[in-house]
């Protein structure tokens, strides 16, 4: 499941490939469920295998955390910070936040795991992370405490030679007839944008859909259309052949940080929250 290859799995386990096949057959016989579909020399995991892997993954993460705590105690390490986040923040904003945090907390070991919002909530509920970042601002999830961050206005990304690129801002009506590169269907930013467009009766097309705002910017560069994304990702493309413009009225980009419920906040977590809030506040004022 981790390597996507029986050959590489055999190398990691330091056994033969037939031994891996036999182990899989034995597991399927033991649980009484067919976990993989065989296509030639490939094994394709089914839904049952995916579900079982998620549970096993959580179990091993727990074991790894116990080992890490033991190592920390042995080395008298002052602390560690486990962070999980949606990609819109993890690829840009949180990297900068971790850099700022690490500059004053060199004794703290930081890990950053990139997941979708649901996976981040699951990790927080299982106390597998110290802090997580998700899309939803009004999320309710058992075992998790949700704290909305300051919302920021989303931006429209266009090529420099686009007909709208020389405007100071993009109005909702300006999207009429445009090809809009869409984020995934469950992305709250896409939902808000399409609600505004539909309310204004704006007609548009969706030639490409992607889960990553970074990919959306590259599709804009490839002349596939325009995109509406978070301001953090957009700023990484400001020196390329695209520009980003504000939208009027604003379409908010909202996210929250989440913490495991019934767990005291450490000083390390509190300090990191302060760094993140300060970062968001600075971008709001920029």
Question: Is the model more confident about 263 or about 121?
Answer: 121
**pLDDT of residue 252 exceeding 90:** yes
Is residue 69 included in any domain, yes or no? Answer: no
Tens of pLDDT, residues 100-118: 999 999 889 999 999 989 8
User: What pLDDT sits at residue 285?
Assistant: 63
| Containing structural domain, residue 184 | 153-252
Residue 42's CATH number: 1.10.10.10
Q: Are residues 109 and 157 in the same domain?
A: no
Residue 72, domain member (yes or no): no
Q: Is residue 203 part of a domain?
A: yes
What mean pLDDT, rounded, does the chain reach? Answer: 89
Mean pLDDT in residue range 85-96 = 92
pLDDT at 57: 87
Q: What does the pLDDT look like over 37-75, one tens digit per residue?
A: 887 767 888 899 999 998 888 888 888 888 877 776 554
The model's pTM: 0.72
The residue among 194, 177, 176 whose CA lies nearest residue 185 is: 194
Using a pLDDT cut of 70, give the percent of the chain over it: 95
- Residue 122 above 90 pLDDT? yes
Whether residues 108 and 240 fall in one domain: no
Q: Is residue 187 domain-shared with residue 139, that is, in the same domain?
A: no
Residue 1 lies in a domain: no
Are residues 267 and 226 part of one domain?
no
Query: Residue 220 belongs to a domain with what CATH number?
Result: 3.40.190.10
Is 124 a member of any domain? yes
pLDDT tens digits, 5-47: 888 888 888 999 889 889 999 998 999 988 988 877 678 888 9
pLDDT for the residue 75 = 47
Tens of pLDDT, residues 191-248: 999 999 999 999 999 999 999 999 999 999 999 999 999 999 888 777 678 999 999 9
What's the total number of domains in the chain? 3
* Whether residues 119 and 157 fall in one domain: no
* CA distances, 30 to each of 35, 43, 44, 58, 204 (Å): 11, 18, 19, 21, 53
Q: Please check whether residues 263 and 232 belong to one and the same domain.
A: no
Task: Compute CA distances 94 → 49, 90, 109, 116, 160, whole Å.
Answer: 32, 5, 15, 15, 28
- Residues 223 and 268 occupy one common structural domain: no
Tokens of 159: 């090529």
64 within domain boundaries: no
> What's the length of the chain?
286
């Amino acid at each position: 499941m981790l390597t996507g290859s029986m050959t590489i799995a055999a190398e990691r386990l330091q056994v033969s490939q037939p031994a891996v096949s036999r182990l899989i057959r034995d597991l399927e016989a033991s649980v009484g469920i067919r976990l993989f579909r065989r296509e030639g020399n490939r094994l394709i995991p089914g839904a049952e295998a995916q579900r079982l892997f998620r549970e096993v993954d959580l179990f091993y993460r727990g074991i790894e955390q116990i080992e890490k705590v033991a190592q920390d105690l042995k080395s008298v390490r002052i602390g560690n910070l486990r962070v999980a986040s949606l990609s819109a923040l993890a690829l840009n904003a949180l990297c900068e936040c971790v850099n700022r945090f690490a500059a004053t907390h060199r004794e703290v070991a930081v890990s950053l795991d990139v997941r979708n919002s649901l996976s981040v909530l699951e990790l927080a509920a299982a106390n597998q992370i110290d802090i997580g970042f998700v899309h939803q601002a009004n999320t309710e999830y058992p075992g998790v405490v949700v704290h909305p961050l300051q919302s920021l206005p989303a931006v429209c990304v266009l090529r420099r030679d686009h007909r709208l690129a020389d405007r100071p801002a993009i109005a909702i009506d300006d999207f009429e007839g445009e090809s809009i590169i869409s984020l995934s269907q469950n992305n709250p930013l896409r939902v808000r944008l399409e609600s505004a467009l539909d309310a204004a009766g704006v007609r548009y097309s969706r030639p490409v859909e992607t889960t990553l705002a970074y990919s959306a910017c590259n599709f804009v560069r490839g002349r596939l259309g325009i995109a509406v994304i978070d301001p953090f990702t957009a700023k990484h493309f400001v020196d390329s052949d695209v520009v980003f413009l504000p939208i009027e009225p604003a379409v908010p980009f909202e996210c929250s940080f989440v913490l495991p419920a019934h767990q005291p906040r450490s000083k390390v977590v509190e300090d990191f929250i302060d760094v993140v809030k300060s970062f968001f506040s600075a971008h709001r004022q920029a």
